[in-house]
Chains A and B, each alone.
Chain A
């Protein structure tokens, strides 16, 4: 008996069989009980089948592509590690970019994985469910590859080993944690707009400039490859985020004001998260790519404007914060570096005063602001350090109740004055860094009153070891914080005089001299 070989399926048939054909509508239970989260945010969906799958990727093809990426990535990581690639970077100061980036990002990738796993469960349509599932696996992959990238550096440099413990406790990690906690505890559509659109689409380029290009410019082949491997997934994520926005807006006109509010909120929250990225670009990369201001102009003002022009036909307006971010691009990186420099004993990476030619670079890149507002402080600190009086601020910070950044940004119309905003909710005062953070709080105060503010936790006595009388008048919580954070003392303080600086110089000398 002869049988004809089975006909090879077309891509379209294959896609249909492996995604939408796998789904069914329930009959014993109402669909609203099976998918309980898609209704309560007020978003109206009439036809899930109108969701266009941007990539028409099936799971078998996905595994094949991703496996190939992993093979290439780990081959390069192994080669880099075996050849002491860490000694090829421009300067040991560069390692501090990795400490900050890779010390804060992997747990956030994990949160993104959890969020998209939930989306894969909650979305009613099979198309978005499959796309969210793949993105969840991607995010989990980024989480893992970043930790692999950390592991090699962790053998040689201080401060990389406790990122998981520090994520929920450390003062300067709380803005990122808060960002993802806010998103993942929102409804499924807000999560998609927050992470899929505002973060992945509008802001992700700025995030990757200092990381991937910064790594490439500074001789770090390993981090560069990790970054490129992740970025190849981001193209898919960005398309998913944009598709989601268009789908929501096409389904019902009532969705527009809700989506607009989410875009306003999450573009602002993302902007606040990027203050530290600006500081990496302008201060921490020994060999700089471009200024944060230039990156903001290209990736947010120009590309973002083009995107919002495109969405204008749905009635979407540029985010409410747009004009404020344009003013702030001249300031945020400097204000962030000042905030971190002075707190060097409570951080797991080093800070320093830039060298004279670096100060000149900043003057050139920031002609409107640097010499006027920031250079005098940096030069004063340099002078004091040379007299053995390196500046350390031992006080505890005040934080924004919404974004969790320390309250360190200026009034939009006055760079010399700190911006303060406040609200009273149920008789209690809450403080904010900006009008936009106050507006986010005022819309959902029940959510943000739960914020974990590190300095307040310390003052409540929640960070001291058992046996300490936290009610005593002279209780000094600062004494216990570095142990609570599991902060390696070798990782703290100025870069000048650090173990990293000495070791890097010694190891490099071994490679080039007898």
Chain B
């Protein structure tokens, strides 16, 4: 459907790729650890290596949680939205198939938050 209007109604998306100065948006969520309330968002260049997420952004965001040091990173399940994928840390976001406004969700089997609460 399209909007009902009294005249032509055409506006650019406020968050289309060209507004981000060569970077793209990336959302990250740790599943069943909802103490962090919602995913976090970054603007990164598509040539950024995936390993930066693992080494910098994910620890900075999530180290507060008592489950964090207990993560077995070899067992982590990764999804881009609902599609499972296996990231290659040495390759770039683009090479891992990650585009503008993609949502990376990671699940840590056996770790379901405080007292198994999902938080």
Query: Nearest chain A CB to B58's CB is how many angstroms away?
Result: 10
In this complex, what residue of A is CB-closest to B14? A450
A446-B9, A471-B21 as given contacts; A372 in contact with B37, CB under 8 Å: no
Q: In the complex, A37→B5 CA distance in Å? A: 9
In this complex, what residue of B is CB-closest to A415? B118
Q: Which chain B positions have C-beta within 8 A of A41?
A: 4
> For window 379-401 of chain A, which residues contact chain B by CB distance below 8 Å?
380, 384, 389, 391, 393-398
Query: A428 contacts B101, CB within 8 Å?
Result: yes
Chain A residues touching B, majority SS: mixed
Partner of B14, one of A42, A408, A449: A449
A40-B6, A187-B4 as given contacts; A456 in contact with B117, CB under 8 Å: no
B43 within 8 Å of A (CB atoms): yes
Query: Nearest chain A CB to B27's CB is how many angstroms away?
Result: 5
Which of A100-108, A193-201, A354-362, A417-425 interfaces with chain B? A417-425
Query: B39 contacts A373, CB within 8 Å?
Result: no
- Report how many A-B pairs have Cβ atoms within 8 Å: 159
Chain B residues touching A, majority SS: loop
A166 within 8 Å of B (CB atoms): no
Query: B38 contacts A407, CB within 8 Å?
Result: yes
In this complex, what residue of A is CB-closest to B45? A473
Tell which of B1, B34, B45, B117 has the most Cβ of chain A within 10 Å. B34
Q: Which chain B positions have C-beta within 8 A of A452?
A: 14
A377-B114, A459-B20 as given contacts; A36 in contact with B6, CB under 8 Å: yes
Tell which of B1, B25, B37, B119 has the most Cβ of chain A within 10 Å. B37
Q: In the complex, A342→B119 CA distance in Å? A: 13
Tell which of A40, A389, A395, A452 has the most Cβ of chain B within 10 Å. A395
Q: Which chain B positions have C-beta within 8 A of A89?
A: none
A155 within 8 Å of B (CB atoms): no
Q: Supply 11 A–B pairs (Cβ within 8 Å), ascending by A.
A: A338-B37, A393-B36, A393-B37, A398-B38, A407-B39, A415-B118, A417-B31, A418-B39, A449-B12, A450-B13, A450-B14
Interface residues of A (CB under 8 A from B): 36-37, 40-42, 187, 335, 338-339, 342-343, 372-374, 376-377, 380, 384, 389, 391, 393-398, 406-408, 410, 415-418, 420, 422, 425-426, 428-431, 442-447, 449-453, 455-456, 459-461, 470-471, 473
Q: Please give me the 5 A-B residue pairs with the lowest Cβ-Cβ distance, nearest first.
A: A416-B118, A395-B40, A459-B43, A449-B13, A376-B114
